[in-house]
Amino acid sequence: MSGRAFLAWIILLGAPTAVLFGMLGDFGGTRSPGIGGGAYDLSGPLYATLLVALTGGWTVGALLATLRRWPARGWNLALAAAGAASLLAALLRHGHQLPFW
């Protein structure tokens, strides 16, 4: 895998993940406007579910790309490790907001 392809994979994970973490209020700013109506706010469960789905799907995709190019090179294993680390961070930080957790 070339260096450009590796950076493209990382950007595809990093940009949406950073946006979702920011929408969940992790960067010290104000929280995003609520989703829902009445006296309840669905933004936490919705954004947390999107975050876990994104990082989980990205990790599975990286693992499939790694298995497709067996014996795996360092870049492919690094992508799978980055996906697993981001999934673990999302679950540890926002797992309590998941509706199915």
pLDDT tens string 19-37: 888 888 766 655 556 666 6
> Is residue 53 within 8 Å of residue 90, measured between CB atoms?
no
| 52 band by pLDDT with thresholds 50, 70 and 90 | very high
pLDDT tens string 42-51: 788 888 999 9
Which amino acid is residue 92, in one-letter code? L
Q: Is the whole model's pTM more than 0.75, yes or no?
A: yes
Model pLDDT, residue 3: 77
Model pLDDT, residue 38: 64
Q: How far is CA 94 from CA 29, 76, 89, 99, in A?
A: 17, 27, 8, 11
Q: Hey, what are 88's tokens?
A: 């673990």
Please determine, for residue 62, whether its predicted confidence score (pLDDT) is greater than 70: yes
